[in-house]
Structure 1
Amino acid sequence: MRLLDRLWGSFPAVLMARRNVARAKTRSALAVAVILIGVVAIGAIGAGGVAFQESQFETLGSIGADLQVFPGEDNEHGYLSAADVGRIDRVSGQAEIVPLNRENADAIEGGSTVGTATLYGVDDPASLYEVREGSIPANWRSGVLVGSTLADRYDLRPGSKVTLGRTTVEDGRTVRRTEEYRVKAVLAQAGQADIANPNQAFVLPPSEFDDGAYAQVIVRAEDATAANETAMEIKRTFNGRRQIVSVFERGDIAEQIDEAFRLINLFLVGIGAISLVVAGVSIANVMLMSAIERREEIGVLRAVGYQKLDIVRIMLAEATLLGALGSLLGGAVTLAVVAAINDALLGDPFAFPTGSLRYVAAGMGFGVIASLIAGIYPAWAAARERPVEALRG
């Protein structure tokens, strides 16, 4: 305590400000409470927005630098051939490519159709999907992988049998085929925007589909820049005056979603900042009332040699102390609130993304700055009072 008193004593203005704040406990406590509310409003809204954004991206799935190449409107086949896949592979450089077959099928139980589903043909499912139950065979040539939604709907597990009805064209004739497959694995729940979303689909080996007829090719680029360059190269290679292929850059969607979340978050933080403006007005009122009540005291200080600048320092120190105390308490409360938000949205109370901590720090800094600015006019008004008039009360 003695060391602390000596430290306070080294700054007379701060020492006097501390005593003045302590004398008006109720008024000071109310000012601190208003600052606390403002800090919590900014920090909790901003950090909560970041947590919400993180949770939504988890729901949407991985929207990264992948490209999706589809048959264009001028593609006479309506699909991508094996030759097309080879050309895409060559122009994609080091990027991994995943050709994808797609059909529709009927799920059959007891000889009757019980529902419809999408069929995907993927040579390496592990490159796209995660497994909830079972495992994907290393040399996958038979069997079926089931999406989590279909597995729950039809009570399918690894080892279960599933019957699928498909319509294909053989020798120019439309043929209806019914085939039975053994379930190898149940795939994990995927985000809504995941490529070839498997939740309501069955995944088969490519050998189960027509050779050389691909619905799309996925190009897994390293980053957004590489994805954009690859997309441009694919378009130059295939498209001249006709659109043979259509390229969809998923990174653009990610940027648009991120920008939308950022703007929404800034809007909400702006609303929260209004509470700190109110807090600043409250601090200004407290400081004005303090200056009025202490007119004689300020007159004595001026009479014994205190300059205007000294009075300004004391008053600003009071405002800063109130702001600092309110901001520190507000920061602690904000962290507790954000921890509860993280637990609700992210499943981990301590999953503080970097962006959320920035909002907490910004709220605390804004609290101190707002208090300091609010104290400027009362400090100036108190300092410009003539000592004789102040002593008269």
Structure 2
Amino acid sequence: MASRNLTRTKVRSVLAALGIVIGVVAIASLGMLGASLRQQATQDLGSIGDQLVVYPSSDSGEYEPLTDREVREIERVATGATVVPLRRQQHSVSFGRQESHMSVYRMAKPGAPYSANMGRVPDPLRSGALVGSETAEQFDLEPGNTIAVNGSTYRVRAVLEEQSSYSPVDPNDAIILPFDHSNRNYSQVIVEAASGQDANATAMSIKGQLNQRERTVSVFEMSSYTEQINSFFGFLNVFLLGVGSISLLVAGVSILNVMLMSTVERREEIGVLRAVGFQKRDVLKIMLTEAALLGVFGGVVGTVLSVGIGALVANVAIQDPSIVLDASNLQYLALAFGFGVGTSVLSGLYPAWKAANEHPVEALRG
């Protein structure tokens, strides 16, 4: 009976359901967009949350580079972790007629944090140079080429894979060279632990051991980036869901209006139903079923559209449309569908109560 009543006023029912469709699409699509962006950002971070960066403390106002003794102490404390000391400099780099000033990192074990896109990363690095992806593109370099760094020549051993912008050392537009044994001071040390939990424990151990007498080093935990990203996208998701919820509230008002109009137009019908023995709860059930059917119809259509729109947006934003079927995104589809049906039922409560409480005699008079 409820479905038949809705089909009698098809245009009005479709327009009421359209509001639910728009609300469901808004909530699901915006929720999936936020979740997809957070997942992509987390993937870009990769295992960066397992890394620490140890660098000289500048509390005293003077910059003192890390020494061999301090690096050995870090290696002793960071049990089970990979320790990569390095020194950062700025040098003139030339290849053929091209010349540029860029960052040059000197490290002995580049094979720990980096891998090659072309060529091979020797570990340890004793000769030659490793070039970042942007540097290779800028100079049109490939393994076997010879470059000049501050007047000294080096043969390119490998072109490195592009690194995340969150990497503690960004070699994309830089060059990595072996250590110059005449200078064994270090600007920082990268420590890569087995897990984020181990990284936190290692950070505490390093600070406790090296800062016993005075603050010698500072330790930056890369996992803080992950926490900041999760916090930001958590807030963004709440905001986007709030925006989408507004459209569902508007749809709820539309359904309330439709159901009230239907109650007025069907007073005589309701009176007949009460006269032939229908109880208040029966009338209430019919009216609420109509509201629920509007919600289910709008929710199903909105969910299907949300999947299509979400895949399109994901393809444009992160070039991966399949991410909309990830479990974290499917929960937004379920949330939007449930919210749509719930809004419809709540919007139909007052009209249903009003219809159920119509006096049969008064209703028959119209």
Equivalent residue number for residue 106 of structure 1: 92
Count of residues in Structure 1 that have an aligned counterpart in Structure 2: 364
The correspondence of residues 138-157 of structure 1 with structure 2, limited to 5 A, is 140-157=125-142
The Cα offsets for residues 245-271 of structure 1, whole Å up to 9 and x where unpaired, read as 111111122201220121022112101
The correspondence of residues 242-281 of structure 1 with structure 2, limited to 5 A, is 242-281=214-253
Q: What amino acid does structure 1 have at the position aligned with 2:69?
A: A
Q: Note the C-alpha offset of 1:61.
A: 6.5
Alignment RMSD, CA only? 2.0
Equivalent residue number for residue 24 of structure 2: 39
Equivalent residue number for residue 358 of structure 2: 385
Q: What amino acid does structure 1 have at the position aligned with 2:173?
A: Q
Q: What amino acid does structure 2 have at the position aligned with 1:249?
A: E
Q: Note the C-alpha offset of 1:357.
A: 2.0
Distance in structure 2 (CA, Å) of the matches to 1:41 and 1:277: 12
Q: What amino acid does structure 1 have at the position aligned with 2:94?
A: I
The alignment's TM-score, normalised by the length of structure 2, stands at 0.93
Q: Note the C-alpha offset of 1:370.
A: 0.6
Q: Note the C-alpha offset of 1:310.
A: 1.1
Which of these residues, 57, 60, 64, is aligned with residue 78 of structure 1? 64
Which of these residues, 36, 50, 55, is aligned with residue 51 of structure 1? 36
Is residue 18 of structure 1 aligned with residue 12 of structure 2?
A: no
Equivalent residue number for residue 160 of structure 1: 145
Distance in structure 1 (CA, Å) of the matches to 2:122 and 2:213: 44
Gaps in structure 2 of 5+ consecutive residues: none
Is residue 216 of structure 1 aligned with residue 188 of structure 2?
A: yes
Whether the aligned pair in 1 keeps the contact of 2:95 and 2:146 (CA below 8 Å) is no
Q: What amino acid does structure 2 have at the position aligned with 1:266?
A: V
Equivalent residue number for residue 374 of structure 1: 347
Is residue 185 of structure 1 aligned with residue 158 of structure 2?
A: yes
Whether the aligned pair in 1 keeps the contact of 2:52 and 2:191 (CA below 8 Å) is yes
Equivalent residue number for residue 365 of structure 1: 338
Q: What amino acid does structure 1 have at the position aligned with 2:82?
A: E
Is residue 90 of structure 1 aligned with residue 80 of structure 2?
A: no
The Cα offsets for residues 32-85 of structure 1, whole Å up to 9 and x where unpaired, read as 111000000011111112222334455666541311111112597722222212
Q: Note the C-alpha offset of 1:93.
A: 2.1
Distance in structure 2 (CA, Å) of the matches to 1:77 and 1:32: 67
Equivalent residue number for residue 203 of structure 1: 176
Is residue 134 of structure 1 aligned with residue 119 of structure 2?
A: yes
Distance in structure 2 (CA, Å) of the matches to 1:209 and 1:33: 73
Where 2:65 maps in the other structure, the secondary structure is coil
The Cα offsets for residues 357-388 of structure 1, whole Å up to 9 and x where unpaired, read as 22222111110111111111111010111011
Whether the aligned pair in 2 keeps the contact of 1:61 and 1:190 (CA below 8 Å) is no
Q: Note the C-alpha offset of 1:104.
A: 1.7
Identity, % of aligned positions: 45
Q: Note the C-alpha offset of 1:210.
A: 4.2
| Mean Cα deviation higher: 59-68 or 313-322 | 59-68
Whether the aligned pair in 2 keeps the contact of 1:38 and 1:273 (CA below 8 Å) is yes
Gaps in structure 1 of 5+ consecutive residues: 1-15, 166-177
Distance in structure 1 (CA, Å) of the matches to 2:112 and 2:299: 48
The Cα offsets for residues 107-145 of structure 1, whole Å up to 9 and x where unpaired, read as 1346x8821111112333232123222222356421111
Equivalent residue number for residue 337 of structure 1: 309
Where 2:321 maps in the other structure, the secondary structure is coil
Is residue 194 of structure 1 aligned with residue 167 of structure 2?
A: yes
Q: What amino acid does structure 2 have at the position aligned with 1:184?
A: R
Distance in structure 2 (CA, Å) of the matches to 1:153 and 1:78: 34
Distance in structure 2 (CA, Å) of the matches to 1:113 and 1:246: 38
**1:226–1:30 Cα change, 3 Å:** same
| Mean Cα deviation higher: 31-40 or 356-365 | 356-365
Whether the aligned pair in 2 keeps the contact of 1:75 and 1:245 (CA below 8 Å) is no
**1:124–1:193 Cα change, 3 Å:** same
Whether the aligned pair in 1 keeps the contact of 2:24 and 2:302 (CA below 8 Å) is yes
The alignment's TM-score, normalised by the length of structure 1, stands at 0.87
**1:359–1:210 Cα change, 3 Å:** farther
Q: What amino acid does structure 1 have at the position aligned with 2:258?
A: V
Distance in structure 2 (CA, Å) of the matches to 1:386 and 1:335: 46
Equivalent residue number for residue 313 of structure 1: 285
**1:141–1:276 Cα change, 3 Å:** same
Q: Note the C-alpha offset of 1:280.
A: 0.7
Where 1:306 maps in the other structure, the secondary structure is coil
